[in-house]
Structure 1
Amino acid sequence: MRKTDRLSKFENQNIIMKPLGLLPLIAFTAVTLHAEELEKITQPGAISGSVNIAFNTRTRLTAEGKPEKGAKDVYEVALNVAKTTEFKGKVERQPLLTSKILGSVEQPGQLFYSLDLAVLNPVNMTQKKTVGKWVGTVPIDNQGVYELAGSGDSKHRVSIDAIGRSPAFTDNFGGRLYGKGKKTDGVMSYVRKFQGKEVKLEVKNVDPMRFENVQLAQGPAQSYPKCTVTGNLDFDYETGNWLTNGIRFHYALNGKEYEDVVTGSIKWVEDPNRASNGKGQYEFNLRWNEEKNKPSSTEADAFKSANDEEAFFAVDNSVPSLTGVVSYVDTMAKSGDADTCTASKITYQLDANQLTKQQVMNFLKLWLIGVGPTNDE
């Protein structure tokens, strides 16, 4: 029922109120309703920019073919979210090195975050202020488990300065990310609804990236609250595709609890001349709260036919979604008898369809936490 309908109902019932007493009630109700509604955006390039990677652990090798001690993969990040927030800096990944004979740790596996966080003035986009940093060290054990809270002397966190009317705060990441490295046995099935029909994709060679009570830190602004993430993003080794498997985001804002269920896929498509030009791209087709937002089926849906695989990866803009491409230009080199990627130039152009800024921000933070596994060749 609209707010105007509610006021008409009071008037029709001839409820006796003091005029001055009714106005504050109306104003309070309007403010409360407004506070509970998060603005939705439909915006090309809601996530845009670049990530350039130098895989130094693949070029700086010992005589035994292991990465040299001190060699790190470097991810140079310059990404914009909803055109009003910028992440710029680098993430470094140091591999775990163990001795050949005793297996003792010679160098721990770690991620090092150093990203500047800036905001742009929505009224004047030429005005930009750096408000803080995303910093910290994330240990990675020999099973590929990322301890997202960080190490004891270098907590993994977002640290924001007091600027203008915005207060200073620090908030920590937490939980665990289980990276790629353990393939599942047997066949995994993934199901989605498309044009009123259920379509299924079966995958044999899956490697799950699992989010165990992952805590995404608040920020850069307080309007982007702390968020808990659970579920899987599964990698299909035969196709290079990523498939969602129960990813849930839970957070609270303005006194209201939210839970977003993200479904869909990220499809890898190689250029026909990739062997010579190094080109390929991820085609994003992620949907938010699909079950709640999907339109009702009609009689005509029973007569629609679709190839299961085509339908599974088809874009459906009738529900809130994040679509578009992340394009790669890779530098390839020989490593023994195989080709290996030694560097990547990556361009992001992801479009939001009826998503809130909080939903877009939460996804990007999660994606940057998995920057290693999602970019391994």
Structure 2
Amino acid sequence: MTRRLFRFVVRATFALAAMSPAAVSAQNRATVEVPADKARVTGQMTIDYASRSERSASGIDTYEIQELKVADLFIMRGTVQRQPGARMTYSLRYDVFNPANPSQIARDVAILRGDLPIDAKGRYLPADGNLRIDVVKGQQSSSKFGGVLQGRRVLKWWDVAERLKTARAEADKIYARVIEGKTVTITVKNPDPLGFENVALAAGPFSFLVPTKVTGNLDYDYELGNWLTDGGGLNFAYTIGDRPYSDKVTGSIRYVEEEGSFTDPAGKKRDYTGYYDYNLRWNEQAVQNDQSFFSSSQSQDADAFFSSSDQSKPGLYGRVYYKDTEDYCKKQKTDKGEDECVGPTRSEVVYDLKAVGLTYQQLAYWMKVEPLALGPLTDE
């Protein structure tokens, strides 16, 4: 690339980033629906669980994100290191697409960096670690994360069996959603909530991607390994220009434990040992208390509840594939006195998600939630 062309790309890429708030409101790209042919989240991540491996003395888990492409907005790449039960340390770089010409990309425009400390109660505290997005090119700025993310009660893989015993003896929770005009329910034994307590998601890497507050729970089902929302959902609040917006995200991320193969977005055939099936809806029809319930069995209700066959409504759909290996794993005794790996020592992860009917702001804030909750979301 010539120097003259490079300067053009940088100027065009940061045209929106350098706008005043009023100009950004007039442009209003944040509220534009992502075109269907662009609305994909694809890329790879490799997780090295050194804390579970006999080969490593560091005890530091490393998440290496390789070219995680979010529509025609940005590409994330870099590393997150985790000291289990203590902190997450972020160094993720953003490459951004030129809004005027998405075939042009500016590299290393912004950085998600800082620490995410974990206190004795399992709470993640981004403000205490100065976790932030720094825009380091063009119109430079810094925007911080804040609030409290209450992590899962079980922090160690090998404690899950004990948690399952407790769950069977404790309270049930009923989840409901409307499927084809009918209310479908499932029951989960004492789910573990991943709680968002006024979590502040940083603005950026473009200035039209505004800060967002998140409240609510994403519940974990230990028995089946699923993530799901209750009727309250996850609530996102933000302001663009002078107009306030609020969204409710409901639905599920269902875990399927099976071996198979798939063709990744780049056309390469890969093996997997399991995957997460995304069925998250934005502002879907709320469940009414007086609606009738299916009279079918629990397994049929579960199939209907988690079904992602209808992908016409605004939401995030698709799969995140995992290929787990347990080489040189640390082991714990099971109830039967047998040695068992405490969990995978390495996971190869491939994203293949699509957004339907979501705006740039909506897709961007979800892709800030996932790195923030990276530890709990990948610990199953």
TM-score w.r.t. structure 1 length? 0.76
Q: Is the 8 A contact 1:261 1:288 kept in 2?
A: yes
2:158 maps to none
Identity of aligned residues (%): 37
Structure 2 distance, partners of 1:313, 1:47, is 21
Q: Is the 8 A contact 1:36 1:254 kept in 2?
A: no
Residue 82 of structure 2 is aligned to residue 93 of structure 1? yes
Structure 2 distance, partners of 1:223, 1:367, is 20
Query: Helix, strand or coil for the counterpart of 1:291?
Result: coil
2:87 to 83, 97, 110: 110
Count of aligned residue pairs for this structure pair:
314
Look up the equivalent residue of 2:193 and give its one-letter code.
Answer: P
- The structure that has the greater radius of gyration is 1
2:114 maps to 136
1:77 maps to 65
Q: Is the 8 A contact 2:235 2:246 kept in 1?
A: yes
Residue 134 of structure 2 is aligned to residue 159 of structure 1? yes
In the TM superposition, structure 1's runs of 4+ consecutive aligned residues that sit over 4 Å from their partners are 31-37, 301-306
Deviation, 1:181, is: 1.6
Compared with structure 1, are the counterparts of its residues 32 and 48 closer, same or farther at alpha carbon in structure 2 (3 Å cutoff)? closer
2:325 maps to 331
Structure 1 distance, partners of 2:171, 2:330, is 31
Query: Helix, strand or coil for the counterpart of 1:115?
Result: strand
**1:1-377 counterparts in 2 under 5 A?**
35=28, 38-41=31-34, 42-43=36-37, 46-60=40-54, 68=57, 70-78=58-66, 79-96=68-85, 109-122=86-99, 123-151=101-129, 155-163=130-138, 167-181=139-153, 185-245=170-230, 246-272=233-259, 279-291=273-285, 307-315=300-308, 316-333=310-327, 334-336=329-331, 337-339=339-341, 340-377=343-380
Deviation, 1:220, is: 0.5
1:100 maps to none
Q: Is the 8 A contact 1:278 1:332 kept in 2?
A: no
Look up the equivalent residue of 1:156 and give its one-letter code.
Answer: L
Structure 1 distance, partners of 2:39, 2:347, is 21
Look up the equivalent residue of 1:89 and give its one-letter code.
Answer: G
Q: Is the 8 A contact 1:44 1:350 kept in 2?
A: no
Structure 2 distance, partners of 1:60, 1:141, is 26
TM-score w.r.t. structure 2 length? 0.76
Structure 2 distance, partners of 1:48, 1:375, is 17
Compared with structure 1, are the counterparts of its residues 38 and 305 closer, same or farther at alpha carbon in structure 2 (3 Å cutoff)? farther
Unaligned runs of 5+ in 1: 1-30, 62-66, 97-108, 295-300
Q: Is the 8 A contact 1:174 1:216 kept in 2?
A: yes
Look up the equivalent residue of 1:72 and give its one-letter code.
Answer: I
Structure 2 distance, partners of 1:130, 1:278, is 31
Look up the equivalent residue of 1:150 and give its one-letter code.
Answer: D
Q: Is the 8 A contact 2:281 2:314 kept in 1?
A: yes
Query: Can you list the C-alpha shifts for 1:230-263, whole angstroms capped at 9, x where unaligned?
Result: 1111111111110123210111112211111000
Compared with structure 1, are the counterparts of its residues 344 and 302 closer, same or farther at alpha carbon in structure 2 (3 Å cutoff)? closer
Query: Can you list the C-alpha shifts for 1:256-314, whole angstroms capped at 9, x where unaligned?
Result: 1111100000010112479xx7610000000000028x9xxxxxx99998931121012
Q: Kindly indicate whether structure 1 or structure 2 has the higher relative contact order, using CA contacts under 8 Å at least 6 residues apart.
A: 2
Structure 1 distance, partners of 2:116, 2:351, is 25
Structure 1 distance, partners of 2:135, 2:125, is 22
